[in-house]
Amino acid sequence: MSESDSPTIVKWHSASVERARGCVVWFTGLSGSGKSTVANRVDELLANLGTPSFVLDGDNVRHGLNATPQILAQRHSTEFAERFGLTFSSIDREENIRRIACVAELFVAAGLVTLTAFVSPFRRDRDLARQLVVERGGVEDFVEVFVDTPIEICETRDPKGLYKKARAGEIKNFTGISDPYESPNHPELHLAGGSKSIDELANEVVDYLRKIKKVF
């Protein structure tokens, strides 16, 4: 093992300034369930209340931090793109969630209510995200929100035509069609995405954040 590979040279440095910690609000659910829409509405409500927040959206991070090989290949070599780009395979989805959890924890440490909107279909990946966040803070730093919208409703929305393509076999590894979705067993919040308005759902989230004293 070379010196650069040795774990002994990588050490955690504590911050000199102690900040009030925010939290992660981890929205999970099928594509088209309303995760991003609810997260952005919560972001607006928190801004109006003077609580600093930020939305990490699944599609947006795939353009930069967790870019696909195709996107990376526009600026980097094929070798680089294939090594560091993330596809939608199970193992790449795991890395996608790990990276986001690490970024979210940094935002939490900076005092932000961090709203993440990712399908994140596997319980083990969401559990790891929770662990990465709470081990440097507390159990209330991670709020799992299950946006429970029936797949029939998600398919009728389908703004990008993904379900239609998945049904036709044009998209592989599509959650809910060719890949499974493992719903949370004990989420902090269970939102009825198919029967309530966006404002109703967003207010449920804000009310919960007030309860755990994350709204400043």
Q: Which residues are catalytic?
A: 120
Q: Which two tokens stand for residue 10?
A: 């990588």
Instruction: Tell me the C-alpha distance between 149 and 5, whole Å.
Output: 45
**SS3 category, 156:** helix
Strands 23-28 and 142-148: parallel
Determine the longest span between alpha carbons in the chain, in angstroms: 57
Q: Which of 119, 156, 143 is nearest to 214 (CA)?
A: 143
Length reported for the chain: 216
Strands 189-192 and 142-148: parallel
